[in-house]
């Protein structure tokens, strides 16, 4: 494996070098970097031209300019990066740090959300092939995949921001609106859960009644502007999550694992009150530390309860602990919503990555960052979910028809064991490739999405540099995205060995 990694790195370095040379040559020949100044009528035009020539090194041969950039980029290996300056004389590394930070905030959430949702939906559609649910998901997947990004972004801005901001000023849901929403969600839930006609009717009726009652009750008590979760709802959701993940992975009959996850929820309920004073005015470092501590506590509980299922018990308890930590933070975010609306009456923004000069506390400032992320994240997630769901479906269908899956069923293994432990693991191999390519591509910046929502990310850095025929920002963009593509593909290759032991040979 070490020899394979070193060989791949050597070949990738050569590709990176040739690609950088090609990118540099194409960029400097894409236009005239002095065109705007040549057309200027300013009295100091000649001085401005000379200054730009000096900043960009336009008086040097192209190969010398490339050599200067290459030597500065090579310094990154020893921690002495020098990627030059843009045409205005601004340090490109500073621009790159700002752009990469904005893009990573955007694409990390959307990528993980798309992976989780897409894989789950793909598995469900594979298990229920040619059902109404399968046809509906297939239609929506192709619809989302073929949506013009700019058009979908404009629709999200109209309905997800402008009209929502109008509604939240005086949030009211009528009986008719609640009934329509309940019917739609009831139809979706009965399609997802499936079963015979009696079970479908029961699912639809329960879902519809619950949604209608909840919407009308929330409207009556003014919950939309003054929401709260509380320990009760956090416990209910956490217990449901613990039981569900145990049933899915280990089986509800594995009592040790079930007791381990439920014990984790009980400990989390105690911690909910213990850490309350710390969460009044925390910081990100503290929250990360508390989250890691929750995972450690879950691992310890899983080890104590685990017995012969120690590995599974530790993993599921850690996941449950992480989920409850997230629910605890969500409770604080929900509680801070009312104060956030007082500071920002129109909460969902359509431009920029944060509100300038926002003066709220930690939770309100975090809500501001979250609402700025909401629309572009939804857009990127919807587009990526279509890809992941289709690939997962086809991969699962192919795996389910393999001889070893039929053998597992003939041995009397439960359907959960067959799906989770035998089929899904092997179906992950092609999905791993898609995840690697998709994440590397998203790091390059969603150029259109960032332009529509006014994000100053990697896509904007590339577009601006190319528009102004400025090679320094473009080459910085290329360096980061190319390295990301190489690293992610290498990680994907190494992951194959863990998913399929035969590849290790």
Whole-number Å distance between alpha carbons of 405 and 395: 13
Instruction: Quote the CA–CA distance of 377 and 152 in Å, as a whole number.
Output: 12
171-207 as b/e: b if 16+ CB within 10 A: eebeeeebeebbeebbbebbbeeeeeeeebeebbeeb
pLDDT digit string, tens, across residues 286-329? 999 999 999 999 999 999 998 888 888 999 999 999 999 999 99
Coil/strand/helix, residue 85: strand
pLDDT at position 148? 84
* Mean pLDDT, rounded, for 108-113: 84
345 burial level (CB within 10 Å; 0-12, 13-18, 19+): exposed
Q: Does position 470 have pLDDT exceeding 60, yes or no?
A: yes
Alpha-carbon gap, residue 19 to 68, rounded angstroms = 16
What angle is formed at CA 18 by the lines to CA 475 and CA 467, rounded to 5 degrees?
Answer: 30
Residue 317 or 488, more confident = 317
pLDDT of 439 over the 80 cut? no
pLDDT band at 162 (very low <50, low <70, confident <90, very high): very high
Rounded to whole angstroms, how far apart are CA atoms 81 and 489? 24
DSSP 77: G
* pLDDT score at 291: 95
CB 381 within 8 A of CB 117: yes
Highest mean pLDDT range out of 333-347, 416-430, 443-457? Answer: 333-347
Q: Residue 91 forms beta bridges with which residues? A: 85
Burial class (CB in 10 A: 0-12, 13-18, 19+), 401: exposed
**48 and 87 Cβ atoms separated by less than 8 Å:** no
Contact 462, 473 (CB under 8 A): yes
166 pLDDT exceeds 90? yes
Cβ 461 vs Cβ 438: under 8 Å? no
Residue 504 has pLDDT above 70, yes or no: no
pLDDT of residue 263: 95
Do 475 and 83 form a contact (C-beta atoms < 8 A)? yes
Helices (H) and strands (E) in the chain, counts: 22, 0
Helices (H), 275-413: 284-306, 310-335, 337-343, 362-400, 403-410
**In this predicted structure, what is the pLDDT of residue 227?**
92
pLDDT bin (cut points 50, 70, 90) of residue 243 is very high
Helix (H, G, I), strand (E, B) or coil at 339: helix
CA–CA dist 349, 372 (Å, integer): 6
Residue 284, classified by CB atoms within 10 Å of its CB into exposed (0-12), middle (13-18) or buried (19+), is exposed
Asked if the model's pLDDT at residue 179 lies above 90, the reply is: yes
CA distance 150 to 43: 40
Task: Identify the band that residue 31 occupies on the pLDDT scale cut at 50, 70 and 90.
Answer: confident
Give the model's pLDDT for residue 501.
Answer: 63
Cβ–Cβ under 8 Å, residues 302 and 314: yes
Least confident of 1-15, 336-350, 464-478: 1-15
> Please, are residues 470 and 28 in contact by the beta-carbon 8 Å criterion?
no
Q: How many CA atoms lie within 13 A of 233 on its CB side?
A: 10
The DSSP code sequence of 184-240 is HHHHHHHHHH--SHHHHHHHHHHHHHHHHHHHHHHHHHTTTTS---HHHHHHHHHHH
Q: What is the pLDDT at residue 262?
A: 95
Please name the residues in contact with 181: beta carbons below 8 A apart, sequence gap of 6 or more. 173, 211, 212, 215
Contact 167, 219 (CB under 8 A): no
At residue 91, the 3 state secondary structure works out as strand
pLDDT at residue 237 greater than cutoff 90? yes
Q: Nearest-CA neighbor of 371 among 345, 356, 350, 357?
A: 350
Q: How confident is the model at residue 239 (pLDDT cuts 50, 70, 90)?
A: very high
Mean pLDDT of 242-267: 90
How far apart CA 54 and CA 35 sit, in angstroms, is 16
Mean per-residue pLDDT of the chain: 86
Beta-bridge partners for 85: 91
Of residues 376, 377, 354, 379, the one with CA closest to residue 367 = 354
Structure tokens at 387: 């890809």
Q: Over the stretch 400-437, which tens digit does the pLDDT of each residue have?
A: 888 888 888 888 887 778 888 788 878 887 787 777 77
Task: Tell me the pLDDT tens digit for each residue of 11-21.
Answer: 888 888 999 99
pLDDT at position 445: 55
Per-residue pLDDT, averaged over 337-352, amounts to: 90
pLDDT for 503: 62
Q: What pLDDT is stored for residue 289 in this prediction?
A: 94
Task: Please report the pLDDT score of residue 316 as a whole number.
Answer: 93
pTM listed for this prediction: 0.81
pLDDT at residue 235 greater than cutoff 80: yes
* Percent over 90 (pLDDT), the chain: 32
Question: Percent of the chain, pLDDT > 70?
Answer: 96
The answer to whether residues 100 and 456 touch, using CB atoms and an 8 Å cutoff, is: no
**To which residue do tokens 């949506």 refer?**
147
> Residue range 168-173: average pLDDT?
92
């Amino acid at each position: 494996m070490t020899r394979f990694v070193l060989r791949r790195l050597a070949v990738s370095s050569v590709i990176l070098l040739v690609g950088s040379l090609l990118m540099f040559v194409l960029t400097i020949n894409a236009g005239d970097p002095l065109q705007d100044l040549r057309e200027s009528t300013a009295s100091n035009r000649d001085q401005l031209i000379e200054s730009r020539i000096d900043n960009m090194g336009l008086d040097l041969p192209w190969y010398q300019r490339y050599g200067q950039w290459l030597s500065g980029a090579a310094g990154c290996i020893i921690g002495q990066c020098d990627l030059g300056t843009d045409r205005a004389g601004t340090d490109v590394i500073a621009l790159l740090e700002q752009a990469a930070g904005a893009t990573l905030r955007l694409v990390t959430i959307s990528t993980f959300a798309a992976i989780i949702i897409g894989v789950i939906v793909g598995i469900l559609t594979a298990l229920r092939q040619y059902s109404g649910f399968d046809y509906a998901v297939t239609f929506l997947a192709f619809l989302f995949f073929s949506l013009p990004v700019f058009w979908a972004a404009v629709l999200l801005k109209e309905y997800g921001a402008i009209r929502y901001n109008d509604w939240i000023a005086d949030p009211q849901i009528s009986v008719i609106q609640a009934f329509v929403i309940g019917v739609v969600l009831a139809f979706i839930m009965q399609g997802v859960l499936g079963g015979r006609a009696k079970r479908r009717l029961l699912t639809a009726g329960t879902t519809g009644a619950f949604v209608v009652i909840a919407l009308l009750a929330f409207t009556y008590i003014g919950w939309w502007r003054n929401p709260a979760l509380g320990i009760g709802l956090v416990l209910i959701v956490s217990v449901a999550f613990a039981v569900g993940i145990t049933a899915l992975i280990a089986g509800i009959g594995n009592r040790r694992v079930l007791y381990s996850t439920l014990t984790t929820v009980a400990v989390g309920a105690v911690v909910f009150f213990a850490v309350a004073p710390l969460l009044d005015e925390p910081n990100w470092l503290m929250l990360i530390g508390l989250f890691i501590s929750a995972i450690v506590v879950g691992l310890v509980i899983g080890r104590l309860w685990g017995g012969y299922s120690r590995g599974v018990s530790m993993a599921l308890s850690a996941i449950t602990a992480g989920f409850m930590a997230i629910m605890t933070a969500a409770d604080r975010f929900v509680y801070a919503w009312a104060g956030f609306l007082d500071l920002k009456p129109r909460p969902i923004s359509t431009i920029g990555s944060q509100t300038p000069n926002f003066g709220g506390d930690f939770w309100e400032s975090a809500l501001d960052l979250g609402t700025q992320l909401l629309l572009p994240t939804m857009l990127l997630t919807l587009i990526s979910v279509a890809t992941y769901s289709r690939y997962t479906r086809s991969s699962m269908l192919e795996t389910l028809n393999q001889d070893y899956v039929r053998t597992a069923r003939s041995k009397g293994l439960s359907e959960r064991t067959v799906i989770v432990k035998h089929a899904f693991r092997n179906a992950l191999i092609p999905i791993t490739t898609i995840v690697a390519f998709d994440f590397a591509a998203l790091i390059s910046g969603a150029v259109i999405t960032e332009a529509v929502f006014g994000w100053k990310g990697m896509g904007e850095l590339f577009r601006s540099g190319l528009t102004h025929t400025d090679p320094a920002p473009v080459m910085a963009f290329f360096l980061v995205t190319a390295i990301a593509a190489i690293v992610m593909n290498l990680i994907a290759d190494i992951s194959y060995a863990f998913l399929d032991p035969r590849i290790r040979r």
